[in-house]
Amino acid sequence: MQRPSSTNAVAQPICARSQTTDGSRSSSALEVARGLLDRLFPEAPTGNVSFQLWDGSPWPDEKPRPATIVLKHPDSLSEMFASGTEIGLAESYLRDDFDVAGDIETACELGDTLADSKRGARFRAGCTLLRLRLQDSARALGRRLSTVARARATRHSLERDRWAIGFHYDVSNDFYRLWLDPRMLYSCAYFKSEGDGLGAAQSEKLAHICRKLRMKGGQSLLDIGCGWGGLAVFAAKHFKAKVTGITLSKDQASFASQAVADAEVSDDVKIHIRDYRELPDSEDYDVIVSVGMSEHVGADNLPEYFRKAFRLLRPGGVFLNHAIGDGVRARETRGRSFIQDYVFPDSDIPRLPIVLAAAESAGFEVRDVENLREHYTHTLRHWVQRLEAKHEAALEFVKEPTYRVWRLYMAACARGFAQGRLAIYQTLLVKPHACGTSNLPLTRGDWYRQ
């Protein structure tokens, strides 16, 4: 599948905050900038990323490359690299110190270079040589989390988790509708081939999950973190399930309830705004599913998360937990995180052994683990392409910095999954009967039987 092209063309330089009446200063600034780029990126002539300076001139040459960093003003490089950190670079993009034309996923190579501590130090040292005046370095970025917001409640308390979920998901249903598939599925699709469309791959993901759960007519299904209701409606329509879906997002619950009504499955699907911890232990379900929700639980709370699911599941029942985790090539991060500050506050993606240990400590038996990371790479590339194509339409519902947050985070995640720094695990767990039987067949053949 070809990578998407950005809608942001390079045709005309944008010189906001770059005008100067001093022609010699402007010329000197361009020379300093080119010299700094020569030192910071000696491999650029053979690389995939080029720069366009604020006067429209290219660096290192005019050779077409997949991605072009468009500098908006003479202080762009200082704003971008002086901190020597990935989040500093991301915040510079959000402030419009620079834009990305072409493939933003390729442009994320810049963040990879900053992850190297020696390279980061070189960036900081190089930027001190820029004799350019920094301006408005404390400009507000809109979505950045304030200290007050972070301190509003204990981390992963009921109150704070509601706020954290709302921060990400209650942005605008109309905004999400622009680039998600018609079912509004905001999780990894399942591609039978790289050329599959997003809608078809998302439908196949729902079928794949239901086959893994071995859904049967009349079974009760608990969907923890039901999102906009796509899986709940699918399970009710195609597998005759009785579904309870829970979410902490008011926008999602409203959309999901309408989707249930539109699909004429109101008798079989109930949507509630509720935390999983608030479900009474007296309720019990034949099967449980959680897709893209446990990342919000926190590693320290995973044992209780799985204990709660274990109590709610009937003996012989299965629980499918679909969640992002660190890949085998994950790198250690220190300090502030772009994802934490601008995208998913309080999110956590522990390594798989931590998740499995927490599940087993609750009494679950691990029966299958599938890593779908390549599928998430393809999914994210579809989302980025669709979002870029609807840039102008998106600005009717969100401001430019919010659009840039989503564009950047999804492109960076696509790169992370492609490189193996991120993984997406579907883990199938069973609650055995007291005698040890699991009610499971001997093979997985039924999962792939069409």
- Residue 108 and residue 173 in one domain: no
- Please tell me which residue, 330 or 67, carries the higher pLDDT value: 67
Q: What is the DSSP letter of 144?
A: P
Does residue 331 have a pLDDT over 90? no
Nearest to 339 by CA among 324, 352, 353: 324
Q: Residue 52 belongs to a domain with what CATH number?
A: 3.30.1050
Burial of residue 118 (number of CB atoms within 10 Å: 0-12, 13-18, 19+):
exposed
299: which DSSP letter? G
User: How far, in Å, CA of 321 to CA of 309, rounded?
Assistant: 10
State whether 231 and 312 are in the same domain: yes
In this structure, is residue 3 part of a structural domain?
A: no
pLDDT of 48 strictly over 70: yes
Boundary-marking domain end, from 86, 105, 127: 127
Integer distance in angstroms from the first to the last C-alpha of the chain? Answer: 25
- Indicate whether 218 and 361 sit together in one domain: yes
In a domain, 286, yes or no: yes
Of 76, 111, 127, the position where a domain reaches its end is 127
pTM reported for the whole predicted model: 0.89
* Distance of alpha carbon 287 from alpha carbon 314, whole angstroms: 8
Residues 373, 279 share a domain: yes
Q: Is the pLDDT of residue 45 over 50?
A: yes
- Per-residue pLDDT averaged across 260-283, rounded? 97
Same domain for 423 and 312: yes
User: Cβ distance 41 to 57 under 8 Å?
Assistant: no
- Answer whether residue 131 shows pLDDT above 60: no
pLDDT band at 2, cuts 50/70/90? Answer: very low
If phi > 0 it is left, if psi is from -120 to 50 it is alpha, else beta; for residue 295 that is alpha
Mean pLDDT in residue range 149-178: 88
Q: Is 214 found in the same domain as 83?
A: no
Any domain includes 149:
no
- Rounded mean pLDDT of 257-266? 98
pLDDT of 57 strictly over 80: yes
Pair 110, 220 in one domain? no
What is the domain count for the chain? 2
> Is 140's pLDDT higher than 70?
no
Choice among 142-146, 217-221, 363-367, 400-404 with the minimum mean pLDDT: 142-146
Here the CATH number for the domain that contains residue 424 is 3.40.50.150
Q: Are strands 422-430 and 313-326 parallel, antiparallel or unpaired?
A: antiparallel
Phi then psi for 254, rounded to 5 degrees? -65, -45
Give the count of beta carbons closer than 10 Å to the beta carbon of residue 413: 23
Residue 326 backbone phi and psi in degrees, to 5: -60, 135
Judge whether 384 and 343 are in contact, CB under 8 Å: no
In a domain? residue 98: yes
Residue at 5 is within a domain:
no
Residues 302 and 179 in one domain: yes
- pLDDT value at position 3? 44
Q: Where are the beta strands (DSSP E) in 302-421?
A: 313-326, 365-371
Say whether both 100 and 169 belong to one domain: no
Is omega for the bond preceding 303 within 30 degrees of 0, making it cis?
no
What value does the mean pLDDT of the chain take?
88
- Whether residues 290 and 343 fall in one domain: yes
pLDDT at residue 28, rounded to an integer: 82
Amino acid identity for residue 196 in this structure: D
The pairs formed by 185-189 with CB atoms below 8 angstroms and a separation of 24 or more are: 185/227, 185/228, 185/230, 185/231, 186/227, 186/228, 186/292, 187/227, 187/291, 187/292, 187/322, 187/379, 188/292, 188/322, 188/372, 188/375, 188/376, 188/379, 188/424, 189/375, 189/378, 189/379, 189/382
Going by pLDDT thresholds of 50, 70 and 90, the confidence category of residue 127 is: low
Query: Does 373 score more than 90 pLDDT?
Result: yes
What average pLDDT does this structure show over 415-440?
96
Residues 121 and 215 both lie in one domain = no
As a whole number, mean pLDDT of residues 366-378 equals 98
> Sorting pLDDT into bands at 50, 70 and 90, what band is 29?
confident
Which token pair is 115? 């992850």
Q: How confident is the model at residue 14 (pLDDT cuts 50, 70, 90)?
A: very low
Confidence grade of residue 82 (pLDDT, cut at 50, 70, 90)? confident
- Position 138 in a domain: no
Per-residue pLDDT for 125 more than 60? no
Indicate whether 355 pLDDT > 60. yes
pLDDT above 70 (res 242):
yes
For the ranges 13-17, 202-206, 330-334, the lowest mean pLDDT is seen at 13-17
Report pLDDT for 124: 58
Specify the range with the lowest mean pLDDT, choosing from 79-83, 234-238, 294-298, 438-442.
79-83
> What is the mean predicted confidence (pLDDT) over 224-245?
98
Q: Is residue 135 part of a domain?
A: no
Distance of CA 252 to the CA centre of its chain: 17
Q: Name the more confident of 162 and 131.
A: 162
* Residue at 203 is within a domain: yes
Q: Which of 15, 127, 413, 435 is catalytic?
A: 413
413 is an active site residue: yes
Q: Which domain holds residue 67?
A: 23-127
How confident is residue 10, by pLDDT bands cut at 50, 70 and 90?
A: very low
Structural tokens at position 393: 């339409």
Supply the pLDDT for residue 111. 81
- What is the distance of C-alpha 227 from the center of its chain? 14
Q: What is the pLDDT of residue 115?
A: 67
Say whether both 162 and 66 belong to one domain: no
Choose between 184 and 3: higher pLDDT.
184
